[in-house]
Every structure is written in structure tokens, then in C-alpha cells.
A and B are shown apart, each in its own frame.
Chain A
Amino acid sequence: MKRRVKLMFPQVLIKEPVIFTMAKKFDIMPNIRRARITDTVGEMVLELEGEAANLDEAVKSLSEQGIDVEPVEGDVLE
């Protein structure tokens, strides 16, 4: 299963190997499509591929670390 997400990293995590750690821990294959880092924030748009349950756990883990995880299409409920 694949999921397209946009991640927003707080400044304190920009230097951490967050994606690599997540990929190993939850057996996820990340495919980075776009990224941008400013002095205050890091943004990354990527596709995550793995088992559905692992994807849920991986996203939960990222959120718990303080990373904002959003679908690339933004909020569709309008």
C-alpha cells in the first residue's frame, strides 16, 4: 500500500535521520519527491510504501515526535 504525505519538521528535528529511522523500524519504503528546508522549518513531500498497519504505526510515530503529517492534497472536507 502507498500513501502520499507531506511532512513538516520542527527545527529541532531537521538534523535527525527521522525518515531513515522510520523506514527501518516499520519496514517502510520512502520515496522523496520534494523537500525544502528554511532556517526554521523543514518540509518534505514523499510517498510511503508498506503494509497498511505499518504505515499507520509509522505515521503515528512521526506525529509523536512532533512532525506534522498531512495528506498531499490538503484537507478535502470543505
Chain B
Amino acid sequence: MSYVRGLKCRECGREYPIEPIYVCEFCFGPLEVVYDYDRIKADLTIDKIRSRPTNLWRYRELLPIDGDPYVGLHAGFTPLIKADRLAKEIGVDELYIKDDTVTHPTLSFKDRVVSVALSKAKEFGFDTVACASTGNLAHSVSAQGAAGGFRRFVFIPASLEHSKIVASLAYEPNVVAVEGNYDEVNRLCSEIANKYKWAFVNINIRPFYAEGSKTQGYEIIEQLGWKAPDHVVVPCASGSLLTKIWKSFEEMHKIGILKELHTKVFAAQATGCNPIATAIKSATDVIKPVKPDTIAKSLAIGNPADGFYAKQVVYNTGGWGEDVSDQEIIDAMKLLARTEGVFAETAGGVTLASAIKLVKTGKIKREGTTVICVTGNGLKTKEALEGHVAEPFRIKPKMAFFEEILAKIGN
């Protein structure tokens, strides 16, 4: 039984029935899923959530599907790690890492959104799913689409390095390499999505797809003992994840599971692609598109669809936005690995490095609970660390050589 009321335009408020549509026919504003929260409040309890399997569907009343979930039965419910060593390094009292480096099946938070998108696509009756991606999204659509028995199309820029697409090709989707710059690839994909009756997960299925991000927020609340953190730092590409984490907190408050909510939401970007952080810092409502130039490829969206709304959340909650250089990203990736044993992709470096700056500038106070959202696995972007990690000690197979090294290392 669905708790979904319909789709609603974020700009003009016009409501629509549940269909695979994504913009308001009148003002072209983006559509958002709205729910019957009174019914959810009556039906969804902490005990009910606890009784369910530890995957993202344990919050299913707050997700936009009508029947049983179709894919992603092992996705979500990733660890929330209490990061005491890292807390000491960066100067906060209580720090947690929401560790989506280990999301099933493709090791990034995209498994959450794709689980919801493909389950909804099945309900809509689609047999073909598609996406435009340079990495994580392609991996997840390829893998989960295979598990769901869908025909799959993955569009990539022809300039993308072969090593980046191997992780998608393994699942044997139809990969289409489009010759042209990113703008041309974007435009072609939008045209294809509007012409073919496919579930293009981040275009015509986007309102449902994006809802999957909320599960990261629900899990944070559950894993903190049904409390919201004082600060949450979220990486921004399109800005959707940030808005959805905030939506998840608000929903938990609305249905009475959260007794109080005063979280400040912080946006993290790379300086080489920082349209949202720039808008926050310059106090403007205009998100000025940029041409991305950063090692954090999974955050390289120059024209972020939800940038304006992400900026609004940051402002309304008393948070802030920060951006960091490629070197700061690398240093933070290494710091996270060294202190907490978590190897994050470059986006994780962006989030931690931004958090460090936010603590240094006093935007994040030492006191209180801080959660840093780490969204993807470091094995996906390990080339970013080439030349930035130590070389192994090479020795001949004799004890004397080893002990010579040991003496150099010391304690």
C-alpha cells in the first residue's frame, strides 16, 4: 500500500498524479514526491522499522513505491562509524562517518537511488532502463539493472578513460559512447529520454530516483539512537543528496520519531566545480554554471539541477558551504584512511576536507555531534592517489635487510 499522495512542483506547487514525469508542464519547475504523513505517522513506528531486514527498504512507507521492492534488497544500512581518531585530528568532540563506501552492490550511494528508481520503473512497466554517467551511476544501473532483468543503456562521453567504464562493462549493459563535449552528451541524453519510453533514471524517473537518497538520512538518525546530528556535511554534485538528507530529517520529525530537530546542513564541493558553495558564500540565489576541472569527477556537475534548493536548505538551517582544492582532497582521503581505515573516493576527500575547513573557520563548532557523509569507495578513483602515497620498502629475502628497515621506521 502506497503512502504517496502525488507529485508536486517545487516552484508553483501544482500537483500531478504519480507518473514517469519530472518537470511541471506549466512552469517547468522540478517535481517532488509528496506523502500522506498523517497516515505514515499512524503506521510507521520505531519498533516496526527495527523488526525489518537491515536494508534501505526498512523505511519503505517513506519511499515512493506501491508494492514490494523489486531491486536493492541488500542495499543501504551502511555503517555509521564513530570516528574518535579523526575527531581528535580535526578538532571536534563527537564525529561520525556515514560510510557508503560499502553500499551493496556497487560501493557508492548511487545504489540507494538506483534501488528506488528501478523498483519504481518496474511498477511503471518499463523493460528498459538508462542513465548518463561517467562513473558511479553507470555502475549501479548496470549491476542492479542486470539483477532486475532489465534491458540497459548507459551513455558516456567518448572521451572517458576505458578504465572508468570496465566496472560497468562487466555487467554487459549497452554502453553508448557519445562523441562530443559534456554539454552535447547532456543534451542528447535529454532528447533520448524525451523520445524513447525508457526509464531514464535521472531524467524521467528523477523524482522517484532522488527519494532513494533519503535513506542515508534515516539511517543516520536510527544509528544515532533516533536523534539527528548537530551538524551534517554533505558532498554536492547536483545538490539533490543534500536536499534529500534534510528532507529525511524533516520527515522523521514530522512523523514524530525525531523529537527535536536543529541540525545545521553544510555543503561540500571541490573548488574546481563549486557553483553551490559559491552561491552560498556570495549570498546569491543564482547558481552560476561552471566548467568543472577537478579530480572529484563524481561531483563534477557544473550546472546542478538542485543547486538552488540545496543552497536554500543550507541557509534555512544555519549551515554553510565550503570548497577545497585537489591537494586538500587528496590529503583528506589519506587522513580518513590513516585514522579510520576508510578508503573513500575523491568525493569523500571533498567532504572531509570541507569539514576540516568548516571547523577551522568556526562554522562547525567543536561541541555537538558532527556527521560526515562519505558516498563512494576509494577503489573507484585510486588513480587520484598515484604519486601521493608512500612506496613500499623493498628488501632482499633476508632477515638482516628487514631489520635494517625496521630500525629506520622506529616505533
> Does A49 reach chain B (CB closer than 8 Å)?
no
Which residues of chain B come closer than 8 Å to A8, judged between CB atoms?
286, 288-289
Among A38, A45, A68, A76, contact of B189 (Cβ-Cβ < 8 Å): A76
- Are the C-beta atoms of A74 and B303 separated by less than 8 Å? yes
| Distance between Cα atoms of A75 and B273 in the complex (Å) | 13
Q: Known A8-B288, A77-B134; judge A71-B186 contact (CB<8 A).
A: yes
| Distance between Cα atoms of A65 and B396 in the complex (Å) | 67
| Distance between Cα atoms of A44 and B193 in the complex (Å) | 23
> Does B353 reach chain A (CB closer than 8 Å)?
no
A-B contact count (CB 8 A): 81
Interface residues on A, range: 20 to 34
Residue ID in chain B nearest A43 by CB atoms? B286
Q: Known A8-B288, A38-B286, A70-B303; judge A75-B186 contact (CB<8 A).
A: yes
| Distance between Cα atoms of A53 and B125 in the complex (Å) | 35
Which residues of chain A come closer than 8 Å to B187, judged between CB atoms?
71
- Are the C-beta atoms of B132 and A76 separated by less than 8 Å? yes
Which residues of B pack against A, CB within 8 Å?
Answer: 11, 22-23, 26-29, 132-134, 136-137, 155, 157, 182, 185-187, 189-190, 193, 200, 202-203, 206, 237-238, 284-286, 288-289, 298, 301-307
- Are the C-beta atoms of A72 and B23 separated by less than 8 Å? yes
Which residues of chain A come closer than 8 Å to B238, judged between CB atoms?
74-75, 78
Output the least CB separation between A41 and chain B (Å): 5
Which residues of chain A come closer than 8 Å to B185, judged between CB atoms?
77
Which residues of chain B come closer than 8 Å to A43, judged between CB atoms?
286
- Are the C-beta atoms of B284 and A40 separated by less than 8 Å? yes
Which residues of chain A come closer than 8 Å to B237, judged between CB atoms?
78
Q: Known A33-B26, A33-B27, A45-B27; judge A75-B285 contact (CB<8 A).
A: no
Among B11, B22, B182, B288, contact of A75 (Cβ-Cβ < 8 Å): B182
| Distance between Cα atoms of A76 and B23 in the complex (Å) | 14
Output the least CB separation between B109 and chain A (Å): 12
Among A4, A34, A40, A68, contact of B289 (Cβ-Cβ < 8 Å): A68
- Are the C-beta atoms of A73 and B27 separated by less than 8 Å? no
